[in-house]
Amino acid sequence: MPLITLNGKPYETEYLSAFQLRNALFNNNHVVIYNGFQITEDCPIQDGDLLFIFNNGSIPNEDILDGMLSARYSPKVYKRIKQAKVAIAGLGGLGSNIAVMLARIGVGRLLLVDSDTVEPSNLNRQCYFIRHLGLPKTTALKELLQEINPYITVEVQNVRVDSGNAVEIFKDFPIVCEAFDRSDCKAMLVNTLLENLPETKIVCGSGMAGFGSSNSIRTERRMKNLYICGDFSTESQGYNSLMAPRVSICAGHQANMVLRLLLGIEEI
């Protein structure tokens, strides 16, 4: 009889296929995740297979969700992601999108820092819904992230970051995503962290407004621990406003650079 892992625990089964096992132990409304992927057609069971079976529409428990992500990424990769700590400074178009991406891949601890509330003008590019209007961005985004993955730790600080408090806020986080709108705020945070927390890796955004080509957005390593993502030139002014597509692309660059750093890949 095949020895498999079922919902995170060893299980010796007499059943020969995934759906036979599901229908016998659960029912046919249950989702079957077979070796990291949801299946819609039956598959034979073999020694060493990983199966996760849970009710369609329900929230899987932490062990099941961890097991599914581990099976998809590989245990070594997922362990590093789950143990990671990342801070995000600014929760607008860049920061809110970065946070969602990092929560989806399972980063274990996120710090969200912003002092603003959700406004109507934010909705064209930021990861908020109309129901969040008037709420602190920290409150609204934490709610969204907990819907994506209720088992990660999401900390918030509803404060305005300046050169006097930045070190205390970010000192425990080895990677910080800079996601402010204003260039002076960006420069303040980068300079403060480089001077006072020289081992902290900083991933910034610069230039993603307007309707230019997606291909102009890139990632550059400017210093040992400083990475900048964007086209480095296109600012929001007049008709050339910030829009969801290019902002999201730049946020994707930042999130992907964070992932590479978490996995020990420092090259761009």
Q: Flag whether pLDDT at 236 surpasses 80.
A: no
- The burial class, CB within 10 Å (0-12 / 13-18 / 19+), for 258 is buried
Q: Which residues pair with 176 in a beta bridge?
A: 87, 202
At residue 68's C-alpha, the angle toward residues 64 and 70, to 5°, is 115
Please check whether residue 127 is in contact with residue 81, taking contact to mean a CB–CB distance below 8 angstroms.
no
Q: Flag whether pLDDT at 234 surpasses 80.
A: no
153-164 pLDDT, tens digit per residue, is 999 999 999 999
6-48 pLDDT, tens digit per residue, is 998 999 999 999 999 999 999 888 999 999 899 999 999 999 9
Rg of the Cα atoms in the chain: 21
Phi, psi (rounded to 5 degrees) for 59? -95, 115
The structure tokens listed for 104 are 């989806």
The pTM of this model reads 0.92
What mean pLDDT is reported for the chain? 94
CB contact set of 223 (below 8 Å; sequence gap of 6+):
194
What percent of the chain is modeled with pLDDT above 70? Answer: 97
187-208 pLDDT, tens digit per residue, is 999 999 999 999 999 999 988 8
Please check whether residue 60 is in contact with residue 32, taking contact to mean a CB–CB distance below 8 angstroms.
no
Q: Flag whether pLDDT at 241 surpasses 80.
A: no
CA distance 245 to 262: 26
CA distance 86 to 113: 11
Q: Please give the domain boundaries of the chain with CATH numbers for all domains.
A: 3-73 (3.10.20.30), 78-262 (3.40.50.720)
What percent of the chain is modeled with pLDDT above 90? Answer: 82
The structure tokens listed for 91 are 């929760």
60-105 pLDDT, tens digit per residue, is 999 889 989 998 999 999 999 999 999 999 999 999 999 999 999 9
Dihedral, 111, 117, 120, 123 alpha carbons, nearest 10 = 0
State residue 261's pLDDT score. 98
Q: What average pLDDT does the segment 174-195 reach?
A: 96
Q: Flag whether pLDDT at 255 surpasses 60.
A: yes
Element (H, E) at 190: helix 183-196
The structure tokens listed for 211 are 């309707």
